[in-house]
Structure 1
Amino acid sequence: MKTAQRGNLVKIHYNIKLDNGETAGTTRGGQPLSFTIGKGKVMKKLEQGIIGMQLNESRTIKIEPEHGFGQRNESLVLKVKKEEIQTQMEIAPGRTIQYKSETGESVNFIIRDFDEHTVTIDGNHPFAGENLTFEVVLVAIL
């Protein structure tokens, strides 16, 4: 029986779980994720975990922060003046905004907190520092 190998275009359905049991993402009920193994479009450890799988096989793949979204970097948590936030939407915790860095580059930040004068924004990926457990089903090898 054919197995997934480097260079194959594959389609997978997945659930991503955090250590606390929370589901962090899923393709169930939607379109499967499609990618070519070895092209670097998904996490390398996820690609490696799919190699050798057969069609309709299920597998659990654990990915530590250093192989996923990295460790949290507290230097990416900034407290800025409210007037520096250029947005038309309401400032609220959990919202994603674009903020221009000192170099002029636009970077996505998550609003963590705010008061009358300042906004605390976080440039870490929401899953930085998290272990990710992918529950994967291989649905196509093309």
Structure 2
Amino acid sequence: MAKYKIFYKLSHANGALVDESWNEPLEFELGDGQLDSCLESCVIDAQVGKLQTFLLSASEAFGSELEEAFQVMKRPDFPQTMMIELGAVVEFKTPIGDSYEGCIDQIEGDDITVNFNHPLAGSDVSFQVKILQKQ
């Protein structure tokens, strides 16, 4: 697998910054999970040493929001010590030990709606990248 050293900036299409690595380059190997596959595809298409911007639609980037990824849970399903508030990120473990993160989207009495979509699902994004090194 190819190894890369890059500077990058990921933003919503409206310009709001999501993540960046301009102060310290990111070093990664394709497929190691540090970058989502849609962003790895941009890196593969980019030229070494040239700052390039890729505009990705929601479907090309992190996909559309899926209704089935919104789960209504009951307050007793959460640890008693957990602060339950809108926008809070919560982590759940499955019986086999996998972890899933979601964001509290709605609170109605004891019904808590958790959004398990990717945080950028449904968003068009801009990905700027400059490849410093490719091995």
Which interval holds the TM-score relative to the shorter structure? 0.7 to 0.9
Q: Any conservation in 2 of the 1:109–1:122 contact (CA below 8 Å)?
A: yes
Task: After TM superposition, list the pairs within 5 Å mapping 1:1-80 onto structure 2.
Answer: 7-29=1-23, 31-37=24-30, 39=31, 41=33, 42-51=35-44, 53-55=47-49, 57-80=50-73
- Partners of 2:89 and 2:101 within 8 A in 1: yes
The alignment of Structure 1 onto Structure 2 pairs a total of residues equal to 133
Alignment partner, residue 90 of structure 1: 83
Looking at structure 2, the residues matched to 67 and 27 of structure 1 have their Cα atoms a distance apart, in angstroms, of: 22
CA distance in 1, matches of 2:131, 2:9: 12
Inter-CA distance 43–117: structure 2 relative to 1 (3 Å threshold): closer
Deviating more after overlay: 60-69 vs 129-138: 60-69
Task: Give the counterpart letter for 2:115 in structure 1.
Answer: D
Structure 1 segments of 4+ aligned residues over 6 angstroms from their partners: 101-104
- Name the stretch that deviates more: 42-51 or 77-86: 42-51
Report sequence identity in percent.
23
TM-score (norm. length: structure 1): 0.76
TM-score normalised to the size of structure 2? 0.79
How much does 1:122 deviate? 0.6
Bigger radius of gyration: 1
Instruction: For structure 2, list consecutive stretches of 5 or more residues without a partner in the other structure.
Output: none
Asked whether 1:108 is paired with 2:87, we answer no
Task: Please say which of residues 87-96 and 130-139 is displaced more in the overlay.
Answer: 87-96
Task: Give 3-state SS (helix, strand or coil) of 2:18's partner.
Answer: strand
Cα deviation code 1:54-76 (max 9, x no counterpart): 23x20001223333222100111
Contact 1:99 1:108 in 2 (8 A): yes
1:22 aligned partner, one-letter code: A
State the one-letter code of the partner of 2:65. R
Indicate the RMSD between aligned Cα atoms, in angstroms. Answer: 2.6
The 3 A distance-change label for structure 1 pair 86 and 106 is farther
Determine the C-alpha separation between the residues in 2 that align with 1:97 and 1:20.
Answer: 27
Gaps of 5+ in 1: 1-6
User: 2:114 maps to what in 1?
Assistant: 121
